[in-house]
């Protein structure tokens, strides 16, 4: 995966590329999750992984703690890269980011992705009943909680210094999720069409104990276009164990899009 001129994006470019797939990270995640996707996806699909501040090469930058300011900054950073056909994929927190960024781009710039792919992410209207405050836990309790979701690699658990670097990132990302109010974002679209105007594809794992699979169908209420729900085996981080199957699905969804095939 190569570095972009912009710190927000790391990409794997193919000379055959015809469409860009922008990938948004889960809480505590970074571009590392998507490092092998270019090997599994078709050469026509360029992988553009989003690197949020406060992690990786951007470790010394301030972490975002509210979604609205993050969305506005992301839009300003990415808008010039979105003039060609593009698709958004987001896992967990990344799914919420991709959803609200899609709505913001439509309202402010009349830009719409070819497809929006959301993975293991709570439907936004359900956050009003999602009363978690993980970002207020002690370091020890927060670590136990994210371990229970299967979200910490063993190589990180074995290194105290890496854990010290990871926990503030997870805490800030969880604060983004736990201070999100869907109604506040809806008010920004008062008098405007806030529905998605692109196909929406939702993925989830049946053994996920954080985002229940049976809740994922609620995403359909935000879509005026094609909607599909796809099931994988595994826990909240199935995208690691099921990478091959997930990339096969993305190949199928992205390459089957009729206007893309006409180009």
Residue-wise pLDDT tens digits, 184-194: 888 887 666 77
pLDDT for 194: 76
The set of residues, in sequence order, having a beta carbon less than 8 Å from that of 165 and lying 6+ positions away, is: 59
- Domain spans, the chain: 2-128+181-262
pLDDT for 143: 84
pLDDT for 263: 45
Rounded to whole angstroms, the Cα distance separating 217 from 202 reads 8
The class of domain 2-128+181-262 in CATH terms is alpha beta
Q: Which residues of the chain have pLDDT under 70?
A: 1-5, 151, 190-192, 257-263
Phi, psi of 118 (to 5 degrees): -120, 130
Q: How do residues 60-80 score in pLDDT, each as one tens digit?
A: 999 999 999 999 999 999 999
pLDDT for 5: 46
Output DSSP code: residue 34.
Answer: G
């Amino acid at each position: 995966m190569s570095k972009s001129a912009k710190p927000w994006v790391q990409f794997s470019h193919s000379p055959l590329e015809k469409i860009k797939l922008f990938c948004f990270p889960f809480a505590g995640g970074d571009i590392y999750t998507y490092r092998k996707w270019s090997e599994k996806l078709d050469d026509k699909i360029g992988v553009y992984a989003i690197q949020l501040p406060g992690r990786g090469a951007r470790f010394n930058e301030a972490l975002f703690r509210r979604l609205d300011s993050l969305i506005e900054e992301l839009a300003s950073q990415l808008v010039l890269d979105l003039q060609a056909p593009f698709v958004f994929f987001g896992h967990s927190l990344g799914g919420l980011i991709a959803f609200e960024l899609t709505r913001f781009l439509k309202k402010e710039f009349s830009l719409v992705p070819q497809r929006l792919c959301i993975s293991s992410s709570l439907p936004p209207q359900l956050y009003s009943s999602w009363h978690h405050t993980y970002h207020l836990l002690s370091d020890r309790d927060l670590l136990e909680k994210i371990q229970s979701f299967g979200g910490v690699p063993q190589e990180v658990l074995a290194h105290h210094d890496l854990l010290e670097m990871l926990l503030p990132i997870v805490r800030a990302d969880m604060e983004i999720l736990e201070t999100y109010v869907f109604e506040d974002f809806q008010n920004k679209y008062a008098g405007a069409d806030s529905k998605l105007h692109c196909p929406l594809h939702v993925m989830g794992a049946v053994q996920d104990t954080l985002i229940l699979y049976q809740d994922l169908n609620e995403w359909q209420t935000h879509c005026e276009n094609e909607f599909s729900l796809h099931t994988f085996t595994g826990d909240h981080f199935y995208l690691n164990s099921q990478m091959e199957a997930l990339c096969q699905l993305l190949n199928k969804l992205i390459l089957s899009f009729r206007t893309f095939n006409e180009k």
